[in-house]
Structure 1
Amino acid sequence: MKAIKTTLTLACLLCFTCNVSLAQKMFSVHQDNVKPSMLIEYEKIAKEFIAATVEHNVQDEWLSAVSNDFKYFYITPIENFAQLDKNPYVEMATTMGGKFKELFNRLDKCLTAHGSYIVVLDEALSYMPEGSREAQEGQNYRKWIYMYYTPENGDKVKEGMKAVKELFISKGSTNYYRIYKNGYGAMENYYMVAISAKDEIDEATKAKANEELLGPDRWETFSKVINHISRIEEYHGEMRPDLSYAPK
């Protein structure tokens, strides 16, 4: 039985690796769920950590984002699973000694939970005529729409997403979006739609204009997705350049 489970796990990983090679963009995400009462303290410590990585010129990089439900995301591009085995903080931890562990102990007191997983940017389903950059100057506001589906509906949801993109193209929509798919470490299947804007008002204005452009018949196309998903979760937030990092 143990051998069968191992074989199945390896088969799933191989299938996922093949899908990633087609998508060409994979990201490791570390998520911190922060206690609302500890928000200010958490940000203070997070900035201390970034200052330390700058001082030690740690060879790692990440983009940061925060959502309206006090979740912080640290997003690192990776080329393969082998990168997950590397620890870029060994030298920093050795130099800092006990201060390194103390820093993380202080962070832990601010959290209700934390963990890491992988997401994959699906460029074929994304609608980004000007390029699918994650960081866009002057557009740090984000709306994230998670659409969950059961395994049996995977193909139908994907076909529906293609139809939505074709509608946006045919209408010449300027309301762009990126599509991310769950990867290794996620128990549920989902597509996440990421929409960028200058702020909440800018996003709402663009969304309203897009509704008028697509017209009432848009619901016929949208139903090709909606009819096959189990639930939708919507969040808003912002990218945080001040909590992001790249080595010199």
Structure 2
Amino acid sequence: MKTIKATFFMALLMSFTFNFSQAQQRYQIHVDNVKPSMVGEYEKTAKAFVDACNEHNPEGPWVTATTNDMKYMYISPMENFAELDKNLYSDMSKAMGDAWGKIFSDFDKCYDSHSDFVITLAEGLTYMPEGISMTQEGLNYRNWYYLYYTPENSRNIWEAMKGVKQLFESKGSKSYYRVYRSGFGCPENFYLVAVSSKDELDSAVQGKANEEILGEERGPVFEKLMKYVSRLEEVTGYMRPDLSYSPK
């Protein structure tokens, strides 16, 4: 949060060794690694910042997500990398004066580190037959699966994930997901799979129902995928509409 240079946000990846002809939606993601003891203070400051943005109406929307390991992720769509050089808050910071500096001093007390990176929506691997959307009303709980891979397996893992999507399509699965791939600022190659649900219980029920729908065919399909995954991480959390912002 210390550097507000056009970023405050989180989200999703560039291209890997082979190219895609169609335009892909990129996202800036800013992550604050909040100290467990400072979560209350952090949320108080984050809400104050959202209130200030609603008052001063700067450009650039973002959505916020929080994880079970106390990371706060600010995700904003971007059209191109030139946007990284824009200062969306110059007028707002001038108008707020000392109050602007105080907000970010308060943020700085709440974490020891933060980071920024870019990810890209992989539409061809995403399974949302009713239309792709990062947020869905009433479905704020998230399971995020990070599938890391080595450069030599970039094409293999892409093809394996296409196989997963084809299985979901053929079975008419009701368990939808979005896929993003790592890009600028990411130290490792990964795909990020995001699954929405109401809460932890709904996620478990949905997962069990999906296993039954996919049937025994899911075994070979997922085994092929795991063959090219060097490391798998699962993170859970929530989307936070109360800490998100959209200009008027």
TM-score with structure 2 setting the length: 0.91
By how many angstroms is 1:217 displaced? 2.9
RMSD (Å), alpha carbons: 1.7
Runs of 4+ in 1 over 4 A off after TM superposition: 18-21
Secondary structure at the aligned position of 1:246 is classed as coil
Residues 105-124 of structure 1: pairs in structure 2 closer than 5 A: 105-124=105-124
Secondary structure at the aligned position of 2:93 is classed as helix
The answer to whether the aligner puts 1:142 opposite 2:142 as a matched pair is: yes
By how many angstroms is 1:15 displaced? 6.6
Higher helix content, 1 or 2: 1
Structure 1 residue runs of 5 or longer lacking an equivalent are: 1-13
Amino acid at match of 2:144: W
The answer to whether the aligner puts 1:231 opposite 2:231 as a matched pair is: yes
Structure 2 residue runs of 5 or longer lacking an equivalent are: 1-13
Secondary structure at the aligned position of 2:124 is classed as coil
Match of 2:163 in 1: 163
Relative to structure 1, the CA distance from residue 123 to residue 43 in structure 2 (aligned partners, 3 Å threshold; closer, same or farther) is same
> Contact conserved, 2:34 with 2:111, CA < 8 A, in 1?
yes
Match of 2:9 in 1: none
Secondary structure at the aligned position of 1:144 is classed as strand
Match of 1:94 in 2: 94
Match of 1:187 in 2: 187
Relative to structure 1, the CA distance from residue 217 to residue 32 in structure 2 (aligned partners, 3 Å threshold; closer, same or farther) is same
Distance, in Å, in 2 between the alignment partners of 1:51 and 1:136 is: 23
Q: Any idea what the Cα deviations from partners look like across 1:165-187, whole Å, max 9, x if unmatched? A: 11111111111100010011101
Amino acid at match of 2:101: K
Secondary structure at the aligned position of 1:235 is classed as strand
> Contact conserved, 1:23 with 1:123, CA < 8 A, in 2?
no
Match of 1:218 in 2: 218
Amino acid at match of 1:43: E
Larger Rg: 1
> Contact conserved, 1:20 with 1:26, CA < 8 A, in 2?
no
TM-score with structure 1 setting the length: 0.91
Distance, in Å, in 2 between the alignment partners of 1:133 and 1:19 is: 24
By how many angstroms is 1:20 displaced? 7.2
Match of 1:71 in 2: 71
Match of 2:132 in 1: 132
Match of 1:104 in 2: 104
Distance, in Å, in 1 between the alignment partners of 2:238 and 2:148 is: 22
Match of 1:37 in 2: 37
By how many angstroms is 1:23 displaced? 4.8
How many residue pairs match? The answer is: 235
Distance, in Å, in 2 between the alignment partners of 1:166 and 1:93 is: 49
